[in-house]
Amino acid sequence: MFAFDHEALRRILKTVIQKNTTEEVWRWVNQSLQRDNASWNTAFAAMPRKTGKKIIDVSPDQLTEIQSIRTGLRPQNWSIDRVARVYLLLSLDASDKNSYIHQIENLFPAAEMNELVALYSSLPVLAYPEAWKKRCAEGIRSNIGTVLESIICDNPYPSENLDEAAWNQLVLKAFFTEKPIERIIGLNERGNQSLANTLSDYAHERWAAGRPVHPQLWRCVSRFINENTFPDIERIALSVNTAERKAAAWACEESSFLPAKLLLGNSKELKSYVDDEGINWNRLSLSVHS
């Protein structure tokens, strides 16, 4: 049912909730686990009124333990109501697959924004991971920024479960909505030629409209540079923007396309970006956001 030790994760999330709430609030959360479906749903909706909405105080040791149990789960920026809602979802009886899926699916249609954030944040810790692919793909079409971020950023579920088309749509949506690209888990591992082509087309649209292209976009193109996309790399290699020239250098270094290798080898400046700094796309992101 679960792809990890969900009981161990429940225990550590319990300690996080207890650390960030009063004893009275924790008792209410704990009692919610014993309620029937209708009352459980009411408790899920009422969570912020009981717990508040402050960002949790979580120790480095707790984060390390969470990561050791469920790789990729990064709750350090979650609010306490979000943690408590995920805890409720994690505590549902999953022995009856159909009943379990039905209960969770019924939460989505009427969910308000923060409830949706918690629901999408819970995808990597729910039982039957394959059951939530369609729901995740549907969430990518959302126009609510915080909901999108809960799917795109610091969430291991999409990279582990989405098919190529849905994954590519997630990455494109991240660029289109200006989400922090460096927080997409699995971005390098899930790279593919189709995504590289799509992002190149997107860059051309931006350029045609006189709009900038995020240098991180070329991170997704680098290993798939070919005769069609190489002119894009040549263009950014001549950019007045240092971040774009670094992106060109790093893309060429990661590429196996001979013209890209020659471009890098024939430019002292581009080569210095690799030799002096190494390849660190996340650092490039920080320079863009600063």
Specify the pLDDT at position 25. Answer: 96
Specify the pLDDT at position 288. Answer: 55
Q: Is 73:2 a contact under the CB 8 Å cutoff?
A: no
Specify the pLDDT at position 34. Answer: 83
DSSP annotation of 217: G
CA distance 141 to 100: 25
pLDDT at 286 over 80: no
Q: How confident is the model at residue 201 (pLDDT cuts 50, 70, 90)?
A: very high
CA distance 228 to 237: 16
For the entire predicted model, the pTM comes to 0.93
**What percent of the chain has a predicted confidence (pLDDT) above 70?**
98
Summarised one tens digit per residue, pLDDT across range 67-113 is 999 999 999 999 999 999 999 999 999 999 999 999 999 999 999 99
79-88, 161-170, 203-212, 279-288: lowest mean pLDDT where?
279-288
Specify the pLDDT at position 37. Answer: 82
Q: How many residues can be counted in the chain?
A: 290
C-alpha 166 chain-centroid distance:
13
CA distance 185 to 154: 6
Specify the pLDDT at position 287. Answer: 59
Q: Is 247:277 a contact under the CB 8 Å cutoff?
A: no
Which string of b and e fits 41-51 if b means at least 16 CB within 10 Å?
A: bebbbebbebb
Mean pLDDT, residues 42-58 taken together: 96
Domain boundaries, the chain: 1-177, 191-290
Specify the pLDDT at position 290. Answer: 42
